Amino acid sequence: MTRPTPIPDAGEANGAQAMRKRSVVIAGHRTSVSLETAFWAGLKEIAEQRGLSVNRLVETIDAARGTNLSSAIRVFVLQCYKGETAKN
């Protein structure tokens, strides 16, 4: 997996980046997830690299999570960019 190239400016690093709420479908049920734009972009990139839809990747994350879904997605994206997760 390639590392992200842009480095956030000070405003983004301090939480000024906008939150985006999007609907995802997990096990046939629609739910809303709020994440920062950078995490949505990272999640989409990881899904594309794995040949999955974002919904399917979120279902996989959901099945393995032990915390709330938004937090689990953030940790997953961070681990992927740090090279700490399996490719499946």
Give the model confidence (pLDDT) of 17-69 as tens digits.
789 999 999 989 999 999 999 999 999 999 999 999 999 999 999 999 888 99
Listed in sequence order, the residues at least 6 apart from 18 whose beta carbon sits closer than 8 Å to its beta carbon are 36, 37
Q: Which domains does the chain have, with CATH numbers?
A: 17-82 (1.10.3990.20)
pLDDT tens digit sequence for 54-67 = 999 999 999 998 88
Of 43, 68, 42, 69, the closest CA to residue 57 belongs to 43
The answer to whether the beta carbons of residues 8 and 38 sit under 8 Å apart is: yes
pTM exceeds 0.85, yes or no = no
Identify the bridge partners of residue 24 per DSSP, sorted by sequence position: 31
Report the sign of the C-alpha dihedral through residues 38, 65, 88, 26, in that order.
Answer: negative
Residue recorded with tokens 């972009």: 41
